Amino acid sequence: MRHSLPLAPQFYVTAPQPCPYLDGRSERKLFTALQGEGAEKLNNALSRQGFRRSQNVLYRPSCSDCMACLSARIRVADFSPSRTQRRVLKRNSDLKRTATSPWATEEQFALFRRYLDDRHADGGMADMDIFEFAAMIEETPIKSRVIEYRETAATPDTAHSLVAVCLTDVLDDGLSMVYSFYDPDRIDDSLGTYLILDHVEIARRAGLPYVYLGYWVPGSRKMGYKANFSGLEIFKNGAWQDLGDPEDHTGETHPLSVDPIAEQVARIALPDTRS
């Protein structure tokens, strides 16, 4: 199925597949290619409308009978770490951050495989090989960075161990955490939470107002942790709004309340690429 707007990127819809977040439901995505000279502007504009990037594709959930997946971002100016999050920062204060160009390494892939095998052995990425991993990291038409975190307690004769990695896009209004993975043996260090906290600090220092976290899914154990961050807002009903009480967002919708794909596409605001 294909839908398009005049003089605009073409939008497509994937076939329904089992939902990875909520049992008994199916997912469907609306997506478009991210390429050419206008890639940067398109990524910025669509990210502000709930889209996410995967390599050279921008996508947004567009399920036929569910609207549970809500794009989430942290307002940096309004964020204040909780007591638990301050403990996470202290526990990981020995880690050294390094930002590099999006280039995949065997060391990253080894950590990625350990992470998948421990946390997502039955997920859609479980069979990724090193070439597919390299494509995930390196195929980006926009400004992206690989941010590595290493232990600093190594001896002079040993390399600093790689414990976490995040593929991060730099938008005009924030940082987008495209994908992150970390050492599954350091479960007590809450590295997933630490990566988000550190990205808030990076954005603050860079003067960027938002950190985009991907999708928050009420009712999903995998995604529920995002509601623990203050200053969180979600993209719902075509606008960003404060999360408020997470219980107010059940994600339950009647099938007839989901707009047709053509209407969804017609409401997408596209950037002016004439300049």
The pLDDT tens digits for 69-79 are: 999 999 999 99
| Residue 2, pLDDT above cutoff 80 | no
Q: Which of 39, 11, 15 is nearest to 139 (CA)?
A: 39
The residue with greater pLDDT, 260 or 192, is 192
Give pLDDT, residue 220.
77
Which residues does residue 235 pair with via DSSP β-bridges, in sequence order? 240
User: Checking DSSP bridges between strand 17-18 and strand 26-27, what pairing results, if any?
Assistant: antiparallel
Query: What pLDDT, in 10s, does the model give residues 89-105?
Result: 999 999 999 999 999 99
Average pLDDT score over residue span 51-79: 93
pLDDT band, very low/low/confident/very high, at 5 (cuts 50, 70, 90): very low
Cβ atoms of 176 and 53 within 8 Å: the answer is yes
For residue 156, pLDDT over 60 is answered with no
Concatenate the DSSP letters of all residues of 25-73 into one string.
-EE-EEEEE--STTHHHHHHHHHTTT-EEETTEEEEE--SS----EEEE
- Provide the mean pLDDT of the chain: 89
Q: In the chain, what are the domains?
A: 2-71+251-266 (no CATH), 74-234 (3.40.630.30)
Q: Pick the more confident residue, 5 or 252.
A: 252
Q: Which structure tokens are listed for 114?
A: 């350990």
Maximum separation of any 2 CA atoms in the chain, in Å:
64
The two three-digit tokens of residue 266, written as one number: 């017609």
Q: What confidence score (pLDDT) does residue 120 get?
A: 66
